[in-house]
């Protein structure tokens, strides 16, 4: 596959274009707004120049990447592509309309893919005349740096397509995993309790964000604590993903969003991008060193890790991905120090199950129900 189309030249689109171009593919970049593509390419050029200055890439490599990206003012410029990856606004109608227009200009052999984080692949495919050639290829932000890519076939996707795309992504030095077309795919589903349970602990005044982060980092070796990560992702963006997953699982209480996070979003305390979230980034507030309470830290860690392991075990039970892919996904997509099934084994599934039993007894909430598989492991 040498000719790659990318539609949408925002955060993800330009990153995907950079990956394909770095791997010698000819990239055809289209955006509804032509100046958006021009600005994105100019920004990429600046970024590549700084990488040249730092000695990370050569001047020839930088030049070659830029030369491999061609901006197309019209969608028809993508007519000869072998694969087109869409990264436009997260709206089902807009995506279906775009793919219908693309089907008018490309050959029947062209593979069509979406980078959607939350829309059902099967539902977009239903609007296409050849749904068999359509699938999800979900990159993580920043796409050029994050190795993980989730490949999501829809119910009508041709069975051989996932493997073909996996080989291409491996050629691009990515780590592909295959996921079922269910809300959140792998990572956005099984990582939810990392944020959700942490928020709940703080909402209930059981610990401060600093203590929760310290507990996860010191006892679990997580590179970032939940609140540091939420501030990095954006309090609003993380909240939006939780809301979507909650709604798409027909309001399963396991994924219920946090009112604290809603209020923070409303207050525009969005994290790093606004200078203040759970932490202050303006440099005007002194950093608090949390009071280290070993018993509290252990409780926090066990509670959050048990919820995460339970989610991974449930994903295993539902065949959302292979065991291996479930483990790779959290390590390569959200930088966890080890896979969640490996955590389960290390701590002991019985201990995880007992922890969830205690939470369930205390709260009397469906949120803490166990995967039926957990007691069998
Ligand atoms: P963005 O807002 O940065 O960029 C979207 C671009 O698409 C804009 O330049 C816009 O002009 C263009 N666009 C909108 N409608 C269009 C249309 N009909 N035709 C052509 N171009 C159009 O968005 P983003 O953050 O890059 O996200 C793009 C997609 O990737 C979304 O589906 C999102 O859910 C998904 N995604 C985002 C992230 C992330 O962290 N940002 C991660 C994984 C997946």
Structure tokens at 289: 């060193």
98 Cα–ligand 1 center, Å: 13
Rounded CA-CA distance 137/264 in Å is 32
Whole-prediction pTM value?
Answer: 0.94
Closest CA to 201 of 304, 294, 276: 304
The CATH number that domain 3-178 falls under is 3.40.50.720
Structural domain spans, the chain: 3-178, 188-376
Q: Does domain 188-376 have CATH number 3.30.1330.10?
A: no
Choose, from 188, 238, 258, 310, the residue flagged as catalytic. 188
Rounded CA-CA distance 46/29 in Å is 18
Rounded CA-CA distance 81/52 in Å is 30
116 Cα–ligand 1 center, Å: 8
Choose, from 37, 62, 117, 118, the residue flagged as catalytic. 117
Kindly give the confidence (pLDDT) of every residue in the chain, 377 residues in length, as a single tens digit, with 9 standing for 90 and above: 789 999 999 999 999 999 999 999 999 999 999 999 999 999 999 999 999 999 999 999 999 999 999 999 999 999 999 999 999 999 999 999 999 999 999 999 999 999 999 899 999 999 999 999 999 999 998 999 999 999 999 999 999 999 999 999 999 999 999 999 999 999 999 999 999 999 999 999 999 999 999 999 999 999 999 999 999 989 998 999 999 999 999 999 999 999 999 999 999 999 999 999 999 999 888 887 888 899 999 999 999 999 999 999 999 999 999 999 999 999 999 999 999 999 999 999 999 999 999 999 999 999 999 999 999 99
SS (H, E, C) 342-364: HHHHHHCHHHHHHHHHHHHHHHC
Cα 68 from chain centroid? 27
> Is 115 a known active-site residue?
no
Q: Say if CB 328 and CB 177 are below 8 A apart.
A: yes
Q: From the CA of 36, give the closest atom in ligand 1.
A: 9
User: According to the model, what pLDDT value does residue 290 have?
Assistant: 82
Structure tokens at 351: 């201990």
Rounded CA-CA distance 88/86 in Å is 6
Q: How deeply is 362 buried, as exposed, middle or buried, from its count of CB atoms within 10 A (0-12, 13-18, 19+)?
A: exposed
Q: Give residues (CB < 6 A) around ligand 1.
A: 7-13, 31-33, 36, 87-90, 94, 98, 115-117, 139, 141
Closest CA to 107 of 68, 135, 133: 133
Q: From the CA of 118, give the closest atom in ligand 1.
A: 34
DSSP 298: H
Choose, from 86, 138, 214, 353, the residue flagged as catalytic. 138
Beta sheet of 69-71, edge-to-edge order: 69-71, 26-30, 3-7, 83-86, 111-114, 134-139, 148-153, 175-178
Structure tokens at 86: 């869409």
Strands 148-153 and 134-139, sheet pairing: antiparallel
> Is 138 a known active-site residue?
yes
Q: Say if CB 105 and CB 171 are below 8 A apart.
A: no
Do domains 3-178 and 188-376 share one topology? The answer is no
36 Cα–ligand 1 center, Å: 11
User: According to the model, what pLDDT value does residue 309 have?
Assistant: 98
């Amino acid at each position: 596959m040498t000719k790659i189309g990318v539609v949408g030249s925002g955060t993800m689109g330009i990153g995907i274009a950079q990956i394909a171009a770095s791997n010698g593919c000819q990239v055809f970049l289209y955006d509804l707004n032509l100046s958006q593509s021009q600005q994105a390419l100019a920004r990429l050029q600046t970024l590549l120049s700084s990488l040249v200055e730092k000695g990370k890439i050569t001047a020839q490599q930088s030049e070659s990447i830029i030369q491999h990206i061609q901006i197309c003012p019209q969608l028809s410029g993508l007519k000869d592509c072998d694969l087109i990856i869409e990264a436009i606004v997260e709206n089902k109608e807009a995506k279906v309309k775009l793919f219908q227009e693309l089907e008018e200009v490309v050959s029947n052999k062209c593979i069509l893919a979406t980078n959607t984080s939350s829309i059902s692949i099967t539902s977009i495919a239903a609007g296409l005349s050849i749904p068999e050639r359509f699938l999800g290829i979900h990159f993580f932000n920043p796409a050029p740096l994050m190795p993980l890519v989730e490949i999501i076939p829809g119910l009508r996707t041709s069975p051989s397509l996932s493997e073909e795309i996996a080989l291409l992504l491996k050629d691009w030095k990515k780590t592909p995993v295959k996921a079922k077309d269910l809300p959140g795919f792998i990572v956005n589903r099984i990582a939810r309790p990392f944020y959700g349970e942490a928020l709940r602990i703080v909402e209930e005044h059981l610990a401060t964000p600093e203590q929760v982060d310290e507990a996860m980092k010191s006892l679990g070796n997580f590179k970032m604590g939940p609140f540091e990560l939420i501030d990095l992702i954006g309090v609003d963006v993380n909240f939006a993903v939780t809301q979507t997953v909650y709604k798409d699982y027909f309001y399963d209480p396991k994924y219920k969003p946090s009112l604290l996070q809603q209020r923070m979003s409303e207050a525009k305390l969005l994290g790093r991008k606004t200078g203040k979230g759970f932490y202050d980034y303006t440099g005007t507030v002194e950093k608090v060193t949390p009071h280290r309470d070993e018993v509290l830290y252990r409780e926090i860690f066990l509670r959050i890790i048990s919820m995460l392991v339970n989610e991974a075990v449930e994903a295993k039970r539902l065949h959302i991905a292979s065991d291996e892919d479930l483990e790779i996904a959290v390590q390569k997509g959200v930088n966890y120090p080890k896979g969640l099934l490996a955590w389960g084994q290390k701590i002991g599934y019985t201990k995880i199950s007992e922890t969830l039993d205690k939470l369930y007894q205390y709260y009397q909430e469906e949120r803490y129900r166990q995967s039926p598989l957990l007691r069998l492991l």
